[in-house]
Amino acid sequence: MVYNFLRTARMQPIAVPLWYGCEVPGTDHGAIALRDGLEQRWLDGHFNKLLRRLEPPITIPVEDVPRARARLHQRDLVFLDAIDNANELLADAVDQTIKREHLPIVLGGDHALAMGSIAGAVRNAEKVGVLWIDTHPDINTPEGSLSGHIHGMPLAVALGTAADDLPRSSKLAGTVPMIQPDQIAYLGIRDIDLFEENTIKRRDIFARTMDEWNDDGIINGLEAALAHLMDAGVDAIHLSFDVDVLDPGIFPWNRHAVSGGTDDSRSESGAALSGIVDRIADPLDGFRGVESDARSHRDQHADGSASSRYRTRPTHAGPRLGVSLPPTWYTSIASP
Ligand SMILES: [Mn+2]
Span from the CA of 244 to the centroid of ligand 1 (angstroms): 6
pLDDT computed for residue 267 by the predictor: 43
Name which residue leads in pLDDT, 221 or 260.
221
Span from the CA of 26 to the centroid of ligand 1 (angstroms): 16
Span from the CA of 242 to the centroid of ligand 1 (angstroms): 5
What would the pLDDT profile of 76-97 be if each residue is shown by its tens digit?
999 999 999 999 999 999 999 9
Q: Is residue 145 part of a domain?
A: yes
pLDDT computed for residue 277 by the predictor: 57
Span from the CA of 227 to the centroid of ligand 1 (angstroms): 23
Q: Which of these, 159, 155, 140, 14, lies nearest to 77 by C-alpha position?
A: 140
Classify residue 48 as exposed, middle or buried by CB count within 10 Å of its CB (0-12, 13-18, 19+): exposed
Q: Is residue 111 part of a domain?
A: yes
Report the chain's mean pLDDT, rounded to a whole number.
Answer: 78
Q: Is residue 271 part of a domain?
A: yes
pLDDT category at 60 given cuts 50, 70, 90 is: very high
Span from the CA of 20 to the centroid of ligand 1 (angstroms): 15
CATH number at residue 248: 3.40.800.10
pLDDT computed for residue 269 by the predictor: 45
Q: Which of these, 200, 189, 207, 331, lies nearest to 247 by C-alpha position?
A: 189
Span from the CA of 166 to the centroid of ligand 1 (angstroms): 20
pLDDT category at 115 given cuts 50, 70, 90 is: very high
Span from the CA of 309 to the centroid of ligand 1 (angstroms): 32
Q: Is residue 217 part of a domain?
A: yes
Number of structural domains the chain divides into: 1
Q: Is residue 300 part of a domain?
A: no
**What mean pLDDT do residues 294-301 have?**
30
∠ Cα 191 194 199 (to 5°) = 100
Helix H segments across 210-257?
210-216, 218-231
Span from the CA of 313 to the centroid of ligand 1 (angstroms): 33
Q: Is residue 304 part of a domain?
A: no
CA–CA separation, 183 and 232 (whole Å): 6
Tell me 178's DSSP state. Answer: S
Q: Is residue 303 part of a domain?
A: no
Provide the phi-psi class of 301: left if phi over 0, else alpha when psi is between -120 and 50, else beta: alpha
Span from the CA of 135 to the centroid of ligand 1 (angstroms): 5
Span from the CA of 112 to the centroid of ligand 1 (angstroms): 10
Listed in sequence order, the residues at least 6 apart from 48 whose beta carbon sits closer than 8 Å to its beta carbon are 42
**Least confident range of 2-16, 17-31, 163-177, 287-301:** 287-301
DSSP annotation string for 252-293:
GGGTTSPTTT-HHHHHHHHHHHHHHHHHHHGGGGGGHHHHHH
**What mean pLDDT do residues 32-60 have?**
86
pLDDT category at 292 given cuts 50, 70, 90 is: very low
Span from the CA of 46 to the centroid of ligand 1 (angstroms): 30
Q: Is residue 299 part of a domain?
A: no
Show the domain range for 256.
2-294+309-334
Span from the CA of 136 to the centroid of ligand 1 (angstroms): 4
pLDDT computed for residue 288 by the predictor: 27
CA–CA separation, 178 and 329 (whole Å): 17
pLDDT category at 282 given cuts 50, 70, 90 is: very low
pLDDT computed for residue 218 by the predictor: 81
Span from the CA of 332 to the centroid of ligand 1 (angstroms): 13
